[in-house]
Structure 1
Amino acid sequence: MSPFAMRRRHAFAAGLALPFARTAFAQGDYPSRPVTVVIGFTPAGLTDTMTRIIAGRMGRELGQNLVVENRPGAATSIASAHVAQARADGYTLLMGTASLAINPALQPSLPPRDPRQDLAPVGMAYESPFLLIVRADLPIRDLADFVAHARAHPGRIEMGSSGTGATNHLLIAMLAREAGIQLEHIPYRGAAAALTDLRGGRIAATWATPPDAMPLVGDGTARALAVSSRERMRTLPDVPAAPETLPGVHGTFWQGLFAPPGTPEPVLARLGAALDAATRDPEIVRRAEESGVVMRPGDGGALRAYLASETERWSTLIRAANIRAE
């Protein structure tokens, strides 16, 4: 049993010994002070922006401010471990990302080693698909063309990613595996550097978020071939979903809200209701779509099931493709 799982058991036992505290939660006294939402990214990025939007709306529902705290580093594990070890009182939360499903297989030494046991799911938040874009000077018009071109030039299509183990790197590996093609992966330290090299003609393609990709598509530098979600995006209806051509190719950068293990169920339920209101708010949905983000309402059970399925899917790919952390 992991240290976090043991702590969860101890927290539960302590909860049984404190009926007064449990009753206070049930009576709706929570929250009586501001709540901290921790994220594993620096300020001003997509995660930071969306978390602040969601937190603001949740605060209106809860009657307390939700304060976003940035704790970047170690593939988001600094933030995740901090929340996993925090007091299970609902005042320290994690806006977790797809890295929770990736790290256990890619970097198993990073805490929390099993987020499925070491964090308590509150609910789903949103997902951000990626666009497969290629340089416009290449004779590639759609995903089928891309596969045919790669087969004709094995190992000569250089694809950039945000770094080894990033979601868009795993999408490159998934595309190669599902299509039976050889692609040359070029890892960068962030998406901006990969896009700069694509614009400069030094790489052929990349998976990029819509806000990052569309300027290159708009000025004719790149061509959008597919979106990595299971279905087409409402804001980009002319860009096919990758599964329309290759059913096994799909994956997004997703986020969900988590609490420390042992957090009382009434607190999780109250947080979940506030999160659900935020993810369904028409104004937030509109603002999200403008940023290439799709809101994905879902309760704690849905997030638990999704984390389990994503962990299994990415773990299988990482093992099959022999992907190792840098």
Structure 2
Amino acid sequence: MRSVRRTLVLLGLLTLAATRAQADPVADYPNGPVKILVPFAAGGPTDVVARILGDLLSMRWGGKTVVIENRPGAGTIVATAAVAKSAPDGLTLLMATNSLLINPAISQSLPYDTAKDFAPVSMIAVQPAALVANKYFEVKTVADVVAVAKKQPVNYTSPGPRGIGDLAGQMLRQRTGIPAQNFIHINYNGSAPALTDVIAGRVPLMFDIWHSARRYVETGDLKLIASASADRLPGAPNVPTISETYPGVDVIAFNAVVAQGLTPAPIVEKLSADIRAIVASDAFLDRVKNLGINSYGTTPVELRAWMTKEIARWKEVTQASNIKAD
């Protein structure tokens, strides 16, 4: 009789545990390996940040597996579409970049709906951008650049077409009245080849991540014209921002985590809380201190509001310049 009673009690406890697990989807989250998809090849800054985050998430979750999977292609669309089509269980995540918000502004045929198919989790890091010039281009301020470009053609470049650098140039042109034919973006595949040609004097101007361009400014190979982000740049507090002269022209590069759009809110909230704790930790800050990033977390609500505003902003810029996906 006692054994029967013990069996019934055990069954009751198991049933209660199962009921609680069903009622609380975060009870055993993550209940399997977590994949963070990076939409670029291994070794780049986004990949490095993702791997640091993955290591610290695994530690926070008691050693559970976190895999970083590189899926480059189609301007980040390959990895992004894979997350959109994944199971809504919080086990497949995207390390999102500016392309997540720019692509819907320039393409009408994406294999996902950016607003519906993703659940914002948390911001991870941002990087300021800068407008730099080669040392042969006789300008000192962004107002000088605008004055020259209104009189004659001035080319500029960035790490790639239809990225934040390309669109920062379009913002500047639109807000200052530079003729479209006088401010043309020269396409390069990556920051390194673009910087090489700017330093050599083949292209006068470049919008780039400050961390990437800063070393060449410090050696005198490039001139810093202005911060292209809202705040003045670290290491150059006396150089104004573009927006101080032309309000509204400001860009940042960012990394954020998003999940599949139907992921249960409790899982998204737990994941966000864990990530926010990590990016504020000494362990994370120590490992990213040489990457030139500013790390901070956001709630899902905060990140969604910011993403919505950014998509609308990029649509305004790209439509005014008639920029479309190839």
CA shift at 1:238, angstroms? 3.4
Residues 279 and 242 (structure 1 numbering): CA distance in 2 closer, same or farther, change over 3 Å? farther
TM-score with structure 2 length normalisation? 0.87
Corresponding residue for residue 149 of structure 1: 148
Corresponding residue for residue 7 of structure 2: none
User: SS at 2:32's partner residue?
Assistant: coil
Corresponding residue for residue 80 of structure 2: 80
2:89 is equivalent to residue 92 of structure 1 = no
Corresponding residue for residue 171 of structure 1: 168
Corresponding residue for residue 312 of structure 2: 312
Letter in 2 for 1:257: V
Residues 52 and 123 (structure 1 numbering): CA distance in 2 closer, same or farther, change over 3 Å? same
User: SS at 1:111's partner residue?
Assistant: coil
Residues 315 and 219 (structure 1 numbering): CA distance in 2 closer, same or farther, change over 3 Å? same
CA shift at 1:67, angstroms? 1.4
Letter in 1 for 2:159: S
Corresponding residue for residue 3 of structure 1: none
Letter in 1 for 2:187: P
2:156 alignment partner, one of 154, 159, 169: 159
Runs of 4+ in 1 over 4 A off after TM superposition: 18-21
Q: Distance in 1 between matches of 2:103 and 2:137?
A: 35
Matches within 5 A, 1:129-148: 129-148=128-147
Q: Distance in 1 between matches of 2:235 and 2:289?
A: 7
Matches within 5 A, 1:254-265: 254-265=254-265
Comparing 65-74 and 232-241, the one that deviates more: 232-241
CA shift at 1:123, angstroms? 1.3
Question: Is 2:117–2:262's contact at 8 Å kept on the other side of the alignment?
Answer: no
Q: Distance in 2 between matches of 1:32 and 1:85?
A: 19
Letter in 2 for 1:143: V
CA shift at 1:99, angstroms? 1.0
Question: Is 1:235–1:289's contact at 8 Å kept on the other side of the alignment?
Answer: no
Corresponding residue for residue 225 of structure 1: 225
User: SS at 1:115's partner residue?
Assistant: coil
Q: Distance in 2 between matches of 1:285 and 1:180?
A: 42
% identity of equivalent residues: 34
1:250-306 CA-partner distances (Å, limit 9, x unpaired): 011212111112212221111101110122124533554532211132110111111
Residues 160 and 234 (structure 1 numbering): CA distance in 2 closer, same or farther, change over 3 Å? closer
User: SS at 2:83's partner residue?
Assistant: helix
Q: Distance in 2 between matches of 1:162 and 1:306?
A: 24
Root mean square deviation of aligned Cα:
1.9
Q: Distance in 1 between matches of 2:152 and 2:22?
A: 62
Q: Higher Cα Rg: structure 1 or 2? A: 2
Residues 67 and 206 (structure 1 numbering): CA distance in 2 closer, same or farther, change over 3 Å? same
TM-score with structure 1 length normalisation? 0.87
1:227-248 CA-partner distances (Å, limit 9, x unpaired): 2221123444333222112111
Question: Is 2:52–2:287's contact at 8 Å kept on the other side of the alignment?
Answer: no
Q: Distance in 1 between matches of 2:227 and 2:31?
A: 43
CA shift at 1:136, angstroms? 1.4
Q: Distance in 2 between matches of 1:179 and 1:289?
A: 36
Question: Is 2:136–2:201's contact at 8 Å kept on the other side of the alignment?
Answer: no
Question: Is 1:35–1:66's contact at 8 Å kept on the other side of the alignment?
Answer: yes
Q: Distance in 1 between matches of 2:234 and 2:221?
A: 23
Corresponding residue for residue 57 of structure 2: 58
Letter in 1 for 2:301: G
Corresponding pairs, count: 305
Corresponding residue for residue 6 of structure 1: none
Instruction: Give the unaligned 5+ runs of structure 2.
Output: 1-17
Corresponding residue for residue 49 of structure 1: 48
Corresponding residue for residue 118 of structure 2: 119
CA shift at 1:77, angstroms? 0.9
Q: Distance in 2 between matches of 1:48 and 1:149?
A: 39
Question: Is 2:131–2:208's contact at 8 Å kept on the other side of the alignment?
Answer: yes
Question: Is 2:121–2:258's contact at 8 Å kept on the other side of the alignment?
Answer: yes
Corresponding residue for residue 14 of structure 2: none
User: SS at 1:303's partner residue?
Assistant: helix
Corresponding residue for residue 71 of structure 1: 71
Question: Is 2:130–2:229's contact at 8 Å kept on the other side of the alignment?
Answer: no
CA shift at 1:79, angstroms? 0.6
